[in-house]
Structure formats: structure tokens, C-alpha cells
């Protein structure tokens, strides 16, 4: 009887010992950190960027520009703004070739410059058209275009486009003005001021650049 009890006791001790080691290993297991999760492989079907709030951000931007709220509008910029073509400076100087020509390439456009040239960066023609952009249509289709707004002999429209693949929101302010050509025929001059914003992963929009066409 004694010879059977001894091996049984040893076996029980061995099992308990293994259980303790197993429990200890489980308790010491580290929880994944946000950094670890960020670097882990994710489901390719899950979008990498959350741009669901960009349309609300666009509406906030539009309201701030309309109200002339300089401080709020500056939240949509990362200063200083630098662009090789100095597009924002061309707006600030109202296309004054002499002033623009005196600038160095990629001249920084600062927060102080934004305060000083706010009305030139966002002129009345831009605001009037921006207010006419149907945000619901832009949200649903990625595109929206306003009807023409006449100002003297010039007609302005705005085309808005959201490119999902590049996460870029483009606001094109287009103007059309009649003029008489050298042969006496009437023609139309067309010009576009193109504002581009990047849409961040949290849905916020940030100014990128201004370019021109026409």
C-alpha cells in the first residue's frame, strides 16, 4: 500500500507545480500597446484613414471665412506656408507682378501675413461662391458646382471636388469675362484660382496651396 501512495504523491506535486508555472507565465503576459497595435498587420478591407468628418470640417471652414473669423480660419493652416510658386503670395499681392517678382522662391507665408492679407486671400468673390457650394451634394458625390454669380461684366462660379484616393479637397474659383479681340469680335477670358486642402486622417482639412489656370 505504501509503495502505491508514494508515486501518487509525487505525481500530484508535479501536476500542481506545472500548473503554477503555467499561471505565472499567463500573468506575466504583456498587453499590446497602442504602438504595437499600430505596427501590427490589419485587415486590408478596413480603411486606413477616417475621413468621415471632412464635410463637417469643410462647413466649419466655410462659416469661419464668411464671418471673417481670422483666428478660426487659421486653424485650417499650418504656418508658415511654403510653396515654390508662391501662389498664396500672388493672392496676397493681388497679382502685383512687381511685388511678386521681388519674392524669393518658397517665401514663407506666416500667421502674421495671414492676418494682414486675409481679405486678399479670401476676397468677396471667393466667399460669395463658397456659400453657394451644396455641401450635401459634395459629400455624396465628391463634386459640386455653383451657378454663376455676376459681378459687373464678370461671372464667377466655384467647382468643388474631393479626391478620395489622394484625400485632397479642391475649390476652384472660376471667372469668365467678355472682351473684344483685335479683329473686333467678342470673346471670353477665363481664369481659375485653385485652392487645395489635404484631408487628414482625423477628417480635418488643412490648406496646401493655391495655383492658377487660364
Domain spans of the chain? 2-30, 54-213
The predicted pLDDT at position 188 comes to 87
Are 167 and 199 in contact, with CB atoms under 8 Å apart? yes
Residue pLDDT, tens place only, 108-129: 999 999 999 999 999 999 999 9
Cα separation, 214 vs 210, whole angstroms: 14
- Rg (Cα) of the chain, in Å, rounded? 31
pLDDT tens-digit readout, 44-101: 443 445 556 999 999 999 999 999 999 999 999 999 999 999 999 999 999 999 999 9
CATH code, residues 54-213: 3.10.450
Residues β-bridged to residue 160 = 144, 171
The answer on pLDDT for 3 being more than 50 is: no
Number of Cβ within a 10 Å radius of residue 80: 14
Amino acid at each position: 500500500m505504501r509503495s502505491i501512495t508514494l508515486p501518487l504523491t509525487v505525481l500530484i506535486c508535479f501536476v500542481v507545480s506545472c500548473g503554477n508555472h503555467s499561471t505565472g507565465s499567463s500573468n506575466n503576459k504583456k498587453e499590446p500597446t497602442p504602438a504595437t497595435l499600430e505596427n501590427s498587420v490589419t485587415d486590408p478591407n478596413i480603411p486606413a484613414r477616417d475621413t468621415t468628418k471632412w464635410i463637417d470640417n469643410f462647413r466649419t471652414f466655410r462659416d469661419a471665412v464668411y464671418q471673417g473669423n481670422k483666428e478660426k480660419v487659421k486653424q485650417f493652416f499650418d504656418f508658415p506656408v511654403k510653396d515654390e510658386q508662391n501662389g498664396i503670395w500672388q493672392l496676397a499681392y493681388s497679382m502685383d507682378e512687381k511685388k511678386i517678382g521681388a519674392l524669393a522662391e518658397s517665401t514663407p507665408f506666416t500667421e502674421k501675413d495671414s492676418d494682414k492679407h486675409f481679405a486678399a486671400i479670401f476676397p468677396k468673390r471667393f466667399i460669395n461662391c463658397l456659400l453657394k457650394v451644396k455641401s450635401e451634394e459634395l459629400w455624396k458625390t465628391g463634386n459640386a458646382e455653383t451657378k454663376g454669380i455676376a459681378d459687373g461684366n464678370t461671372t464667377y462660379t466655384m467647382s468643388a471636388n474631393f479626391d478620395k484616393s489622394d484625400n485632397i479637397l479642391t475649390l476652384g474659383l472660376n471667372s469668365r469675362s467678355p472682351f473684344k479681340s483685335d479683329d473686333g469680335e467678342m470673346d471670353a477670358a477665363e481664369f481659375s484660382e485653385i485652392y487645395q486642402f489635404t484631408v487628414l486622417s482625423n477628417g480635418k482639412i488643412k490648406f496646401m496651396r493655391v495655383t492658377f489656370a487660364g
